[in-house]
């Protein structure tokens, strides 16, 4: 079987119409992709953020004994959307699950520290290798914010420490902390899918018994009046600023912290709010715009 792909580049406001049009013309699947390398941050539950410019792709199945009238399809689409860039191409049949997996490769965070998709062999068997299912939730190590947090964990003394992973996504940071020597990780996220993903990735790496993960109310009840030695939060600037007083109550004097999901233009505002509770020791930037803010809890 062959597969015909028709790609149409549209503004965000035209996406719904384009999806409906392609489906009405017999597409077996319609996918969306970024047309301008625009970053999207982790969505809240129920949200579906879109890029400003979107490539909408309709996929049509062609049996060996049938021909798709590509010219007729393109003529009809152009009549409905005369200004939208359009192109088509054929794909040979393949094992699509394997094709998806081929996009992922091991990521080296630092010396002797790797993120390894679960179906691949680690490049260095004696390194700290985090096995990860990249399809479960936000957080694979590819995004600059996640990479910056992993780098920071890799150079932080975590041995026998209590660590909080706030906004855990796939659980990659909490799992990394445990593999790097942490005694216990308390992880939380507002997305139930992230809770499941974190549990599965912790189990995949053999550290599930050392990790608690739950929604914020469950986290607060379980963590109680403890104080953490280390806190890492890879979320967004707005929630980070709102959470500063809570993070202060969750951490002990001189506890180390790292915040990410912040762009350069937001660093001053985030740092100003955190300076009431924490000493800002370092701001690290990756890929020009994404930043990690780190430091230590000072005395109240």
Are 39 and 184 in contact, with CB atoms under 8 Å apart?
no
Q: How many residues in total does the chain contain?
A: 300
What is d(CA 252, CA 254) in angstroms, rounded to the nearest whole number?
Answer: 6
What is d(CA 257, CA 125) in angstroms, rounded to the nearest whole number?
Answer: 29
**171 assigned to a ligand binding site:** no
**9 assigned to a ligand binding site:** no
**169 assigned to a ligand binding site:** no
**189 assigned to a ligand binding site:** yes
3-state secondary structure the chain: CEEEEEEEEEEHHHHHHHHHHHHHCCCCEEEEEECCCCCCCCCCCCCCCCCCEEEEEEEEEECCCCCCCHHHHHHHHHHHCCCCCEEEEEEECCCHHHHHHCCCCCEEEECCEEEEECCCCCCCCCCEEEEECCCCCCCCCCCHHHHHHHHHHHCCCCCCCEEEEECCCCCHHHHHHHHCCCCEEEEECCCHHHHHHHHHHHHHCCCHHHEEEECHHHHHHHHCCCCEEEEEEECCHHHHHHHHHHHHHHEEEEEEEEEEEEEHHHHHHHHHHHCCCEEEEEEEEECCCEEEEEEEECCC
- Strands 162-166, 211-214: pairing is unpaired
CB neighbourhood size of 196 (10 A): 14
Enumerate the known binding-site residues: 146, 167, 189, 234
| Bind-site residues for S-adenosyl-L-methionine | 146, 167, 189, 234
């Amino acid at each position: 079987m062959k597969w015909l792909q028709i790609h149409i580049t549209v503004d965000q406001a035209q996406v719904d119409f384009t999806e409906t049009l392609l489906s009405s013309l017999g597409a077996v699947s319609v996918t969306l992709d970024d047309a301008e390398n625009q970053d999207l941050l982790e969505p809240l539950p129920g949200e579906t953020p879109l890029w400003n410019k979107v490539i909408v792709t309709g996929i049509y199945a062609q049996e060996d004994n049938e021909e798709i009238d590509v010219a007729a399809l393109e003529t009809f689409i152009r009549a409905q959307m005369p200004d939208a860039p359009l192109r088509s191409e054929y794909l040979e049949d393949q094992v699509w699950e394997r094709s998806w997996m081929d996009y992922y490769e091991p990521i080296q965070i630092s010396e002797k520290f790797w993120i390894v998709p679960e179906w691949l062999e680690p490049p260095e068997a004696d390194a700290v290798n985090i096995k990860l299912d990249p399809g479960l939730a936000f957080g694979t190590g590819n995004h600059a914010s996640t990479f910056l947090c992993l780098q920071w964990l890799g150079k932080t003394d975590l041995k026998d420490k209590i660590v909080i992973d706030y906004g855990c996504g796939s659980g990659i940071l909490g799992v990394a902390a445990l593999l790097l020597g942490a005694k216990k990780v308390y992880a939380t996220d507002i997305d139930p899918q992230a809770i499941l993903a974190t549990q599965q990735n912790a189990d995949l790496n053999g550290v599930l018994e050392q990790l608690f993960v739950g929604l914020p109310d469950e986290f607060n009840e379980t963590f109680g009046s403890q104080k953490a030695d280390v806190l890492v939060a890879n979320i967004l600037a707005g929630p980070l600023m709102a959470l500063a007083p809570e993070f202060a109550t969750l951490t002990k004097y001189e506890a180390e912290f790292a915040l990410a999901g912040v762009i350069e233009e937001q660093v001053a505002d985030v740092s100003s709010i955190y300076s009431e509770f924490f000493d800002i020791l370092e701001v690290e930037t990756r890929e020009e715009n994404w930043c990690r803010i780190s430091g230590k809890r000072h005395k109240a």
